[in-house]
Amino acid sequence: MGIKSGTMYMAGVASIGLSLAAWLTSRSVENAGTDRADRWGIFIGQWAPTFFAMGVALRIEETLESRRERREEMADTTYTEGRMPSRAGV
């Protein structure tokens, strides 16, 4: 989809900031009390771990993809030079 791991990490950090902003706004603007502000803050704050987990999963995929590309490049260059590919970089 073109989403990078850094984007997910930034979404996690933004979620933490948005959680704090929602809590402060709900507490000061609404007359519903602290309980409702706490619920808003916790609701939005629960998004952060999901974004961080998705960032880690994407980072693993990016790492594996770059390793595959390097292996393919090594295989292409060693065969064109008439030598057998080395397994030292794997």
Report the C-alpha dihedral over residues 31, 33, 36, 38, rounded to 10 degrees: 130
Whole-angstrom Cα distance, residue 64 to residue 20? 36
- Select from 2, 4, 1 the least CA-distant residue to 55: 4
Output the six-digit token pair for 15.
């979620």
Range of the domain at 9: 5-80
pLDDT band at 54 (very low <50, low <70, confident <90, very high): very high
State the total domains in the chain: 1
More confident residue, 87 or 6: 6
Is residue 86 a part of any domain in this protein?
no
pTM of this structure = 0.65
Question: What confidence score (pLDDT) does residue 79 get?
Answer: 55
Is residue 90 a part of any domain in this protein?
no
